[in-house]
């Protein structure tokens, strides 16, 4: 029986729903093995995608719905912190989805072009579809700088499969997932006689690969422990009077200086980490410097503190403000400062301000940030540590540069309160966990209001504390000196996929006339 014209649209919608469900929350990770298959069937079968335009529109619809379901927290940010009306915030969310869904549309375009070439039968297109998918994910990371929830993150709890990331980064896991989906899709478009055999292969592959989530992590034996302060400070507060400021920072220092956590005087210095937060902790403020120096000397600890760094360029009286991580040494001296390089659009700066003047309220509280220019590592008594800030954790090619610069420990400070009670904090955590896996490093993640954790080089969350409470996490960790293949060679696999995609398009372009609609 011939499918109805609307079946293709229903397949695209089904694929979008499945892609939403595989990420936090609800984090139904096992659905990733079939999440792309409905879209692939819709794109490959000419009964659903009779024209190239239909391919693009089917994938575009899928992308719009996926972004709306996964990144709905954009509304919360724009409405509650951008001070936009409900209607305006919804409008921004819609525009956001329409814009970023263009990558799904691009994937649909690439698949559609190949299916219409004499050189590529449908089975061949499905085999190359995972390569196209990875190439599009790479474009998301470098063109619009928003590689949020790449497909591979859905398997961050799959210990055997995540070993792939030490060679290829998260993109290799995306490839494996997309390949299994392609085999499922192939089973749907093949003649009935071969459909059962291919379907059985796809099911076996999904079960075999997916069963890795049942593998237990080996017992970790860290030799160090850090204190990660979860400040739980309000994001937009009008209460930062001098009295409130002194009371707050004194309370945070007191919480960090718990005598029961102190080590013997002749032992190695402690490590205390404060997160990124909206507090006005300027490095140029004498009160901040006094409190932090006192904490470092009283506890004989290295401090890594989320601050607002201030610098003056040349003879100009205009000060530059940075979103920074400040190292304070055990003797109270202020050491190296890392200034955040990859800033958040519309959060820390407004691109094309003359076009997006409405977004100025998002940066009004702290002003626009300046951009750092060097990935500094902190010397913790002979052990280098790399600290990246919030949004930077979603860029694998940037985090690995800290390890290339010698970091034996990774630290991530963040303020995820902007997301509200959505799935975004969990999504953000999984991306940070993948950075630990890719580089084979312990990762200490201190956040303003959660999720604050200690992560092993295998990506296991070894210790955590509840969200939205002011407390300290005793976070086990260790230093690692070896480097992974991925750290040394970066996104070679993703770029290889991009090159193969370009070559496939060239072959398709010179492949002659379009092939018959139902040729397999």
Q: Which residues are catalytic?
A: 276, 340, 390
Question: CB-based contacts of 110: which residues, under 8 Å, 6+ apart?
Answer: 132, 135, 136, 501, 505
The pair of structure tokens assigned to 69 is 């379901």
- HSE toward the beta carbon, residue 37, CA cutoff 13 A: 21
Q: How many helices (H) and strands (E) does the chain have?
A: 19, 12
Question: CB-based contacts of 208: which residues, under 8 Å, 6+ apart?
Answer: none
Reduce the DSSP state of residue 238 to 3 states and report it: coil
C-beta of residue 185 within 8 angstroms of C-beta of residue 35: no
CA distance 11 to 184: 14
CA distance 48 to 6: 8
CA distance 234 to 243: 16
- HSE toward the beta carbon, residue 226, CA cutoff 13 A: 29
Pairing of strands 471-477, 224-230: antiparallel
The pair of structure tokens assigned to 2 is 């011939």
> Per the omega criterion (within 30 degrees of 0), is the bond before 445 cis?
no
C-alpha distance from residue 163 to each of 27, 30, 155, 222, 484 (Å)? 21, 18, 11, 20, 10
C-beta of residue 222 within 8 angstroms of C-beta of residue 477: yes
The pair of structure tokens assigned to 321 is 């403000």
What is the 3-state composition of the chain as percent helix, strand, coil, each rounded to the nearest 5? Answer: 50, 15, 35
**What stretch of H or E contains 433?**
helix 424-439
CA distance 393 to 9: 35
Give the orientation angle of helix 192-210 with respect to helix 170-189, to 10 degrees.
150
CA distance 136 to 185: 19
């Amino acid at each position: 029986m011939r499918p109805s014209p609307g079946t293709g649209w229903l397949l695209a919608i089904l694929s979008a729903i499945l892609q939403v469900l595989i990420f936090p929350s609800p984090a139904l990770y096992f659905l990733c093995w079939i999440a792309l298959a409905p879209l692939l069937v819709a794109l490959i079968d000419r009964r659903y995608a009779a024209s190239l335009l239909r391919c693009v529109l089917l994938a575009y619809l899928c992308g719009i719905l996926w972004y709306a379901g996964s990144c709905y927290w954009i509304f919360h940010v724009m409405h509650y912190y951008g001070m936009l009306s409900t209607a305006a915030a919804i409008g921004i969310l819609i525009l956001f989805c329409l814009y970023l869904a263009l990558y799904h549309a691009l994937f649909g375009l690439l698949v559609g072009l190949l299916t219409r070439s004499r050189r590529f039968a449908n089975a061949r297109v499905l085999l190359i579809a995972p390569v196209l998918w990875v190439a599009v994910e790479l474009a998301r990371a470098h063109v619009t700088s928003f590689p949020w929830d790449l497909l591979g993150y859905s398997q961050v709890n799959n210990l055997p499969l995540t070993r792939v990331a030490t060679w290829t980064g998260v993109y290799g896991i995306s490839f494996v997932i997309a390949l299994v989906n392609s085999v499922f899709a192939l089973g749907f478009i093949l003649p009935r006689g071969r459909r059962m055999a291919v379907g059985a292969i796809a099911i076996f592959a999904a079960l075999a690969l997916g069963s890795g989530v049942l593998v237990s992590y080996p017992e970790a034996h860290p030799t160090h422990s850090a204190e990660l302060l979860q400040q739980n400070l309000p994001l937009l507060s009008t209460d930062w009077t001098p009295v409130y400021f002194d009371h707050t920072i004194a309370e945070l220092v007191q919480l960090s200086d718990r005598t029961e956590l102190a080590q013997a005087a002749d032992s190695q210095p402690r490590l205390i980490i404060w997160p990124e937060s909206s507090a006005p902790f300027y490095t140029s403020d004498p009160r901040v410097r006094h409190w932090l120096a006192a904490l470092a000397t009283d506890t004989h600890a290295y401090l890594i503190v989320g601050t607002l760094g201030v610098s003056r360029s040349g003879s100009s009286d205009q000060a530059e403000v940075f979103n920074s991580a400040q190292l304070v040494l055990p003797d109270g001296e202020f050491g190296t400062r890392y200034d955040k390089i990859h800033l958040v659009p519309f959060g820390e700066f407004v691109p094309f301000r003359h076009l997006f003047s409405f977004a100025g309220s998002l940066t009004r509280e702290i002003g626009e940030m300046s951009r750092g220019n060097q990935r500094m590592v902190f010397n913790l008594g002979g052990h280098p540590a790399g600290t990246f800030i919030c949004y930077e954790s979603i860029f694998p090619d940037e985090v690995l540069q800290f390890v290339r610069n010698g970091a034996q420990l990774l630290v991530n400070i963040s303020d995820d309160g902007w997301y509200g009670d959505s799935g975004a904090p969990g999504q953000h955590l999984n991306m940070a966990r993948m950075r630990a896996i890719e580089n084979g490093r312990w990762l200490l993640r201190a956040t303003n209001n959660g999720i604050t954790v200690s992560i092993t080089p295998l990506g296991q969350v070894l210790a955590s504390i509840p969200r939205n409470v002011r407390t300290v996490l005793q976070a086990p960790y260790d230093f690692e000196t070896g480097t992974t293949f991925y750290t040394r060679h970066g996104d070679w696999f993703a770029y290889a996929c991009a090159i193969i995609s370009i070559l496939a398009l060239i072959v398709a372009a010179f492949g002659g006339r379009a092939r018959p609609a139902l040729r397999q």
